[in-house]
Structure 1
Amino acid sequence: MPLPATWRYTGRWIKKTAWRGAVLVAVALLVWPGAVRAEPATATAALQEFSPPAKGSALVINIPSFTLTYFRDGKEVKRYPVAVGKPTAPTPVGSFRIISKVVNPTWYPPFGGRPVPPGPGNPLGRRWLGFLPSGYGVHGNNNPSSIGKAVSLGCVRMRNEDVEELFPLIPVGTPLMITYETLGLETDPMTGQTCLVFYPDVYRRGTPTVEAVLARLKKSGLDGHYAPAEIKKALVASRRGASFVSLGTCVRVAGQEETVETTVVSGETLLAVRPVLAAFKLPVGWDARRKAVVIGTAVLPVHLVEQRSFARLGDLQRVLGIKSAWNDEDKVLELFQWAVKVNGEDLGCGAWYEGDQVWLPAGAIAQALGTKVSWDPERQVALGAEKEWPGRLRGQELYVSPAVLAELLSAKVTVLAGERLVEVVERAAVVPVTGAPEAPAKEEQPTLPPPAAPPAAPAADEVQEAAPVRALEENTPAGDPAVSPPAKPPR
């Protein structure tokens, strides 16, 4: 997810405590002037702003998050996990461009020794994307367990399958920004949830203070959204790994909206269980032995945070049939048990079930059919053609029965109780059988299950072929970077 335009990347160049760093920078500037654009800065200062180009490809690598993000035409396409340089040989920070591409590279060890040809033992993997002539690049690897760690000699490692997927999409000259951001904004595409994320300070360059975080949030128009106490707690937790501070998500159930508490686990937003089940009028029980929520015969796995239960959206659908869809226009998360399809397409919001009756959102269905429907909110009736139809107002939407909807919109409405699905087809889309008159729409009248008994959980660019690469990389097993020996200058 691209950061807001007002969000500025923070970065700092390598601490040059030895002659090695000075030599590498000098070589880079002599061989390729303009290759490096990096300035000294603190880890909390706003250094430079990066916006992906409106046309073409671009890459952003953030060291603390161990991620490489691919942008196309200014939009994020995909994010990949990577490994970066260890603290004694950090990955450089700054603005670069891809200067070379190699298929099946040969590795020449920087400390001398016999070259390693392409194959399973080659630490560069099967693809190389160089960004500095002094030997830095993005490449595959022969040690997948190193991904997500700071263990290389400064290069950026990817999984072989990931770099092979990315390789044909990146032409020579593609801009590459490498940042050192311990603070970021993430948005969960499933819930629309925006949260703060604090990444570990892998190079010990300093984490931002609570005051600095609040100041940056204010510049981004997010002041007042996050409590200082929560920020402080997340900063402490980030020493062990990425930590998140989330806001509640606005949830809509049957037209009624409320803010539901959320938590973030491994980048995924989880919803508080009790308010969600209460909105569907489902009883809640607790199984202490299994540490799970029990609803009738169904068992819902949960994540506990300070004695409060949170559930994944996937588990809510798998166990209880509660489906979800993010409404980007209204910025709410729609939750529903009965799905609605209009002319074969998912509506994106569901039906409301009560007692033995399904209630359908008349306005949303009419809009999907390319028409409009009017209603009187005080009397809760739909209006049209000098006639009124009864309904029920929930929030800002009028819900009507399948029979009323069929007459109101001249549509065929089919209720599939076993699938908890309502299909709506406009009359013009219904093709009658040749030689036989079209039968009038007939609503099914199924026996609907009570809501308290949900279903149980079911068990090209120019490419050099096999060219040699003298990379700042070594075939070193993943381990604790703190005990790695200092890097020696390349030969």
Structure 2
Amino acid sequence: MPILPDGAQAEAQENKNQIIVNIPSRTLELYKDNTLIKEYQIAIGKPSTPTPTGEFTIIEKEVDPAWYPPGKGYVVPSGPSNPLGYRWMGIGSMYGIHGTNAPWSIGLAVSNGCMRMQEEDVEELFELVNSDTLVKVEYERIKVRIDNNGKASIGVYPDVYGRQRVTVAGVKEALAQANLGNLVDDAFLETLVEAVPDRQVVFAQLHKLKINGRMRPERIISWEGKKHIPVMALVDSLHTTVTWNEGNKTITRQNLTAPGFKRGNTIYVNVEHLPVLFGGREVWNDSQNCLELMLPVANLDGQLLSGDIQRIGDTLAVPALTLAQALGERVTWRPSTAELLVHGRPAPIRMIGGQPFVTIQDIGKVYNTAAVWDDKSQSIELSYPLYTIDYSMYLDPGEEFL
């Protein structure tokens, strides 16, 4: 048997199929590479013969299994009278996943501890898993899910074995662990806990977010048909800052302001207001359920310099002090007179939000740096130097700088 390095061996284990059975919801979920492939409804053990919880492995697979009734001393061959159906996947200690000749029992707690599936479902699952597939059997009355279409839902399920009490605090904790804690209020959760709906209840539509070619971990949320973006995802991507006004419910960036709203500790801005605060362009990728944003940035020699790009009439400007620091230029900034000196000489600047900006037309004159606007990538590409400097004129005969 080939031996893999520790990291490779762990990765290979992670990439295997995995089955998760949840007793209160009477569901079996098949995962591949940590992605939910399909969910099946199942029957579980009755309270007097409960389905065991823990981690197991499929140790045997059998087509047309025979059934040996406990303590009866006879065998029921494969066929319509066999309660195991036509597929068996054993997980040890006489327990397994199998079909059934009583399809009405699916969704109920009626078995001797095994997990029953509809015959067409178990035959499908049988072909998708191997004999070493991990099977986790859990007892979780609260299920938080985000499906492949971005629908976020939460379910509260019956306490079939009388083992677990559900509280609003517990539901909040489950939502927080899924980074969804700011999307529902207490009244909704109290109703959910009291009703025990025994199903998943959708509470939000989520979308993926990509900014300047990079996928963000944060999600866009949709309310009343409009998409809202977590502001900190934009701030972090652009290395910029914003101010939240709790009284007016507004977001301010430089001298630009747009309405927003706050859920928990997260501030959101409507996608419709993005051009006001950040400019750029957006593309909706329906196949990936993803909003792709190209927001204006300045790159210096291929590295992000700043996302604080300002449009002034028909031109663009970058923060003068940020660029000077990146270039190592010797500058003097006098806020009281709004004067910027570069090598002792006044530089042409524009004041925005109390900070000096330099236009792309003036960057070459002020910093000897080339500036080109790339409309496709929505970026100002800066490269230094614009003109090669001959330092030999500053050398004395002994090759020392004067």
**TM-score with structure 2 length normalisation?**
0.49
Output the TM-score relative to the length of structure 1. 0.41
